[in-house]
């Protein structure tokens, strides 16, 4: 079927509109930078430190940890790494209303303190864990199977978070106690406010003030929304043009045959 010139122009306009709407404003790579600052609350004090950047439409938070002291072995190192990354990665996504960006957390174990964000002394046996001292046996009275989630809790301190249980290193301003939290007594999952600093960094460095935190949308780097109502309207007009044009051509052919019958 041949299309009229007007219909072709209409279709071109629709595809241009949808293509522009689908790909304008997608956040590209943003160079990583190191965030580091001291934290003090009551008798507790430590230094938060991590690298943050945008890589392939992912907001990447990277922490390099130097493990010193007792050699924990690759199996326990893997448990710690998997616990940290699986609990924190994609707990929440970023969205500007059209696109969804994954939040990816990565931890690397270093063999030297050069370039390390944090230093952790590993001790053989059971004991009370904190940010700088991890045990190979039962951590803080929990079973060995909780090694991964305990590491994820301590990782929260590394990226600047307070405890959320009685007797812990509480936020001196809010003194927030929240049991159902990775930073709380039940060691459950990250909460949306735990990502506030990352959201603010992304807003400032991307120039997209509309970015917000949303529930995880899966592992895709970003999600393109359905065509806008304006695009649907334009496509509908194109279809009407096509139908009318085809009808007129049919009438013209019929009239021609009647004239020469």
Q: Over the stretch 166-189, which tens digit does the pLDDT of each residue have?
A: 999 999 999 999 999 999 999 999
92 pLDDT more than 80: yes
Q: Which token pair is 105?
A: 């957390």
First-last CA distance in the chain: 26
List pLDDT tens digits, range 135-148.
999 999 999 999 99
What SS3 state is found at 126? Answer: coil
Q: Which token pair is 206?
A: 């991307």
Q: What is the pLDDT confidence band of residue 124, given thresholds at 50, 70 and 90?
A: very high
Query: What does the alpha-carbon distance between residue 188 and residue 91 come to, in Å, rounded to a whole number?
Result: 12
Return the biggest CA–CA distance within the chain: 104
11 pLDDT more than 90: no
Query: What does the alpha-carbon distance between residue 160 and residue 190 come to, in Å, rounded to a whole number?
Result: 13
Q: Is 133 within 8 Å of 89 (Cβ atoms)?
A: no
């Amino acid at each position: 079927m041949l299309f009229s010139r007007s219909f072709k122009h209409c279709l071109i306009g629709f595809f241009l509109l949808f293509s522009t709407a689908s790909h304008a404003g997608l956040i590209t790579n943003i160079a990583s930078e190191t965030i580091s600052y001291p934290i003090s609350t009551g008798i507790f004090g430590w230094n938060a430190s991590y690298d943050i950047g945008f890589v392939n439409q992912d907001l990447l938070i990277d922490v390099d940890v130097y493990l010193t002291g007792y050699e924990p072995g690759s199996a326990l190192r893997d448990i710690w790494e998997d616990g940290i990354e699986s609990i924190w990665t994609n707990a929440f996504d970023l969205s500007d209303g059209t696109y969804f960006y994954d939040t990816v957390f990565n931890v690397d174990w270093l063999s030297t303190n050069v370039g390390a964000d944090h230093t952790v002394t590993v001790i053989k046996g059971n004991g009370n864990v904190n940010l700088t001292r991890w045990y190979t046996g039962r951590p803080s009275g929990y079973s060995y199977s909780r090694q991964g989630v305990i590491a994820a809790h301590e990782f929260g301190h590394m990226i600047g978070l307070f405890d959320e249980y009685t007797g812990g290193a509480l936020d001196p301003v809010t003194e927030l106690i929240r049991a159902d939290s990775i930073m709380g007594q039940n060691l459950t999952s990250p909460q949306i406010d735990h990502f506030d600093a990352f959201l603010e960094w992304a807003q400032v460095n991307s120039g997209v003030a509309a970015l917000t935190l949303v529930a995880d949308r899966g592992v895709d780097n970003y999600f393109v929304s359905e065509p806008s109502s304006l695009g649907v309207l334009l496509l509908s007009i194109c279809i009407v043009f096509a139908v009318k044009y085809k009808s007129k051509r049919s009438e013209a052919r019929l009239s021609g045959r009647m004239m020469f019958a």
